[in-house]
Each structure stands twice: as structure tokens, then as C-alpha cells.
Structure 1
Amino acid sequence: MAANTKALKTGSHGIKMSLGYRITDVIIYTFMGLVGVITLLPFLYIAAGSFATDRELTERAFFIIPRVWSLNAYKYAINNGNILLGLKNSVILTFFGTIVNMFLSTTFAYPLSKKHFRGRNFVLNMVIVTMLFSGGMIPTFMVLRAYGLYDSYAALILIGAISPFNMIIIKNFFQELPLELEEAAYIDGASEIKTFITIVLPLSKPVLASISLFYAVGYWNDYFNAMIYLSSADKYTVQIMLRNIVLKASAITDVMMDYYDSNGAPPDKAVKMATTVIATVPILVVYPFVQKFFTKGVMVGAVKG
């Protein structure tokens, strides 16, 4: 008994852990740390390559810190494409699109979370059908054009105004909220709308932040829909602008070398890396602000049966 007691150590949370458990924790944390490093290395290489010269990208297969720093790729991206305009357009589209998506998703999910809602199962089945089948690209294009929505951000927002999958996640979260809170609000004279705004939404910050992040990333990375439904160059999103920049970079010739600094014109590979960084960093900056809600939302969904 005394030997077993000596073999036990108190963990950081006051739980006694044996030597075997501690070794297992070290192995798990080491493995997860290696996975994290492996996941991070490609992005570090892309970021470093965007500042590298043509010679270094040719000679070195992989590096994290370039020997010679060059801003040629970013100069080319800024001078040969309306990248700032694209960033502004993407920010506007992402902001308003996410607001519309969240408004429609939450207002649709709330009544469906009520078990007494008549026709609830029928509506849910219709929602599930839309996850499996769609009208198709050509009919969608014809409808948007008939309603005068072609070449507008409204077209990009309305075709994906509600994600059935995200809506169902919100609905399931609403169902897990204590019913007693809503009943207490009703007793105090609150209406359904007031209860939804003052009780349900504040308690649903984790799932709302998580789904908002999903919607925002979807709009920011959207390329195909913007290419189809937008025709005006001044409305192009950052993804379209970056595509045009990459296409121009592939046509760089030796005659253009002297236009840049002593390191020469940026290679096609460096421009691709620079555009990847430009497209990734803005939406990546948003994540720390919703991280705690995102993590909590994932954990809440994981522990509920």
C-alpha cells in the first residue's frame, strides 16, 4: 500500500497520477506538438518564400528564413492588381453576408427547436432534402439574372443565405438550453421575440461565434460564385484579384527584370506565395477574437448526449 502511495504523484488539478499516466501524457503531448509543428511548417514556408528571391527559391527546396529578403512579390501584387480594392470588396461582402446568414439561420432555427411546433418534422425533412439536392448552377443563374441580381453582391449572399447544416447545428444548440429560463420569461410577460433576443441569443454566444466564423470564412474564400455572378472589375473580391495577379505573373519575362530592384522580377512561385499570404492573413486575424467562443462551442457540442 505504501509503495503504491509513493508511486502516485499529484497532478496540476489535484488528481494523483501514477508514473505510467505521466509518461503517457508526455507521449501524447509530444505527439500532438509534432503534429502542430508539421501543420504549421507549410504556412511558414509559404510566408518565407513570398519574401525570397528567384535564385533562393530555385536553389533551396525548403526554408523558413530566407537568406535575402525581397519585397518584389508584394510590390508586384500591389502594382499589378487592385489588391486593396479586392480586400475592401471582400470585407464588405463578408461582413454583410455573415449578418444576413446569421439572421436567417437563427430565426429559422429557433422555431424548429420547439417540439410543440406543428409541422416541425416536415420542415426539417425539407431542409435535409436541400442538403442532398439543388436546383443546379444554370437555373440559379437564370433566376438571379431574371430578378436583376446579376453582377451584385446580393447574388452572392442570397444563393447561400442559409446553410442547412449550420442551421441544424444552431437548432440543436437551442434545444439544449434550459426550458425553465424561457418559461420564466413568459411568466414575466416577455413575448417570443423578446425571449429570443434577451434570453436565447445571449446564452448561445459559443455556437453563434462558431457558425459566424464558418460563414465568414466561406465568403472570404469564395471564388467560383464571384467569378460567375460578378462581371464588373470594381466589384471583384480579393480571390478574383489574386487570380488575375497570378496569371499576370506567369507572363513575366526577362525584359521586366529591371523594373524591380536589384533582385530582379519576382518569380511566378513567389507571387503565388505572396497572394496566398495576402488572402489568408486577414481572415486569420479574426480567429483570436472568437477563439474562446469557438472552443467553448466545440466542447459543449462534444459533452452533450
Structure 2
Amino acid sequence: MHKRIRYFDWVNVLLMGILVCSMLFPFIHMASVSMSASDYVIRNEITLWPKGINFDAYRSVLQDKRILIGYKNTLIYVVLGTTLSLVFTMIGAYALSRKGLVFGKTLMLLVVFTMLFTGGLIPTYLTMRSYGLLDTIWAMVLPGLVSSWYLIVMRTFFQGIPRELEESGKIDGLSDLGILLRIVLPLSKPVLLTIALFYAVGIWGNFFSALIYLRNPDLFPLQVIVRNIVLIGQVGDVTVSSAVGEATIVLESLKYTVILVSTLPILLVYPFIQKHFTQGVLVGSVKG
């Protein structure tokens, strides 16, 4: 029995190692190509390590004003959207977690209904236009303000908090809002950080809403600018055509550089909240 467990551990480590390598390889390869000299890239000699290191592609990308505008807009959308989404999700989840909520089951059914059926793209667009939200910051924030799935996860987490703590708060004269702020939220750090990460990643990578609701280039998020750069092949004063030779190298390095520049910041956030990640998701998904 002991040997079987030992073999399972070795096989498990081996499979996880293969999975990790398969996930890391694209990033390592893109980083190597983006930092390699054009001669090596055109001969397709780059695998895991860069050759003839140069940072011309990074200089071109970081000097492009569109990239800086995209970063600024995306940070605004992420900070504003994540904050509002977390607040409204938290309030809704806390209300739905109360057993004495009037029409609580009916409201919960309505929340679940939105997970199965939506109004569709055209009605949503017409609604946004009727409220004058097109070409505004709110077009990137309000349509996906609350996720039904995250609301249910947070509600389940709140239901797992001992009722005795809330009853003691009521004895001390706390209102429902006071119980939420002083008792529930301090105990809900794992689920709050987890849901905040989910919202932030979703907003960071959201380019479809911008394509539908935004026309002003000064409001474009980073992902739309990255998409335009990769499709058009132009960064700053460096224009890439479909010709062979140096242009092809610039295009290849350019694509990978832009992708890395737009992806790394949000990836660097994860290690800081990783210890809360698993606990927040599992505890919020055990109970129904």
C-alpha cells in the first residue's frame, strides 16, 4: 500500500510537471523571440533561450503613445470596475444569504435565471445607447457589473459564517450594515480577494465591450490597442508590411512583445493573493 502511494506521488508530480511546462512554454518562447536578433528569428532558431539579445521591439512598443493610453484606460477600468463590482456583489450576496429575506428564494431564482438566459447583444446595445453610455467609461463598467456566478459563490461563503457571531453583534446593537462591515467582511478576506481577482482579470482582458460600445480611440483599453497593433502591424514609427526579410522579423517580434507587455502585469498580481485563492473558491462552493 505504501509503495502504491509512493508511485502515485511520482506519477502525479510527473504529470503536473508536464502540464506546467506546456503552460510556461508559450510565454518563454514569446519572451525569447521578442528579445532575439532578427537573423535568428527569421531562421526560426529560437526555442527557449534568446539569441543575439536586443530590445528594439520593446523600445518601439513602450514609446508608442497608444500603449500608454491603453494602460491608463485599462487601469481605470480595472480599478473602478473591480471596486464597484465587488461592492455590489458583496451587498447582494449578503442580502441573499439571510434566511429571513422576504422573497429570498424568488430573488435567488431570478439570479440563476440570468445565468441561463440573457437579453442578447442588440437589446443590450440599444439599452446602453438609450441611457447615453456609449463612448463613456461606464460602457466598460456597467454591463458586467455583477456576475451571477460570483454572487452565488460569495453568498455561499457568507452562509458558512457562524450565526452566533452575527447574533452577538445584534446583542451589541449593530445593524445589518454594521454586522456586514465589522463581522462578516473581516472574516471573508479569502473570498473577497478571489472574486476581486476574477473581476480584475475579466475587465483587463475585455476587448469585446470596447469594440461594441466605444468609438473614441482615447477611451480604448489596452487589449483593443494590442489587437489593432497585431492586426495592422504598426507601432510608433515602425511600420511592418507583409514583405519578407526584416519586416517579417519585426512583425513576429512585435506581436510577441505587445502580447507580453499586455499580459505580464495582471499575471504578476496572482502570486500576492495565491494563498487565499484556493480557500476562497472551495469554501464558497461547498454549500448549495
TM-score (normalizing by structure 1): 0.85
Distance in structure 2 (CA, Å) of the matches to 1:195 and 1:253:
61
* Residue 183 in structure 1 maps to residue 167 in structure 2: yes
**Residue pair 1:77, 1:245 contacting (<8 A) in 2 also:** no
1:114 pairs, out of 98, 107, 115, with 98
Kindly provide the amino acid, as one letter, of the partner of residue 162 in structure 1: V
Partner of 2:198: 214
For the pair 1:129 / 2:113, whether they are aligned, the reply is yes
Assess if the C-alpha contact under 8 Å between 1:76 and 1:266 holds in 2.
no
Alignment-derived partner of residue 272 in structure 1:
255
Which of 259, 265, 270 matches 1:282? 265
Q: Provide the rounded CA distance (Å) in 1 between the counterparts of 2:286 and 2:89.
A: 23
Bigger Rg, structure 1 or 2: 1
Alpha-carbon distance, 1:293 to partner: 1.2
Q: CA RMSD in A?
A: 2.3
1:285 offset after TM fit, Å? 1.4
Measure, in 1, the Cα distance between the counterparts of 2:50 and 2:172.
65
CA positional deviation for 1:247: 2.9
Show CA shifts across 1:38-70 (max 9, x none).
221111111111112333223236511111112
Equivalences for residues 164-243 of structure 1 within 5 A: 164-243=148-227
1:81–1:241 CA contact under 8 A, matched in 2? no
Q: Counterpart in 1 of 2:125?
A: 141
**How many angstroms apart in 2 are the aligned matches of 1:158 and 1:130?**
16
1:252 matches 2:260: no
The letter for the 2-side match of 1:275 is V
User: 1 CA distance for matches of 2:55 and 2:242?
Assistant: 18
Distance 1:264 1:131, change over 3 A: closer
Q: C-alpha displacement at 1:34, in angstroms?
A: 2.2
Any gaps of 5 or more consecutive residues in structure 1? Answer: 1-16, 258-262
In 1, are the aligned partners of 2:35 and 2:53 still within 8 Å (CA)?
A: yes
Instruction: Tell me the equivalent position of 1:55.
Output: 39
CA deviation profile, 1:160-204 (whole Å, cap 9, x unmatched)? 111011101111111111111101111111110000011111111
Q: Which runs of 5+ in 2 are unaligned?
A: none
Q: 1: distance between equivalents of 2:80 and 2:5?
A: 50
Measured after TM superposition, the shift of residue 75 of structure 1 is: 2.8
Offset of 1:299 from its aligned partner?
4.2
Residues 127-174 of structure 1 show CA distances to partners (whole Å, capped at 9, x for unaligned) of: 111112222222222222222211111111111111011101111111
State which drifts further: 126-135 or 246-255. Answer: 246-255
| Percent of residue pairs identical | 38
Letter in 2 for 1:242: V
SS at match of 1:101: helix
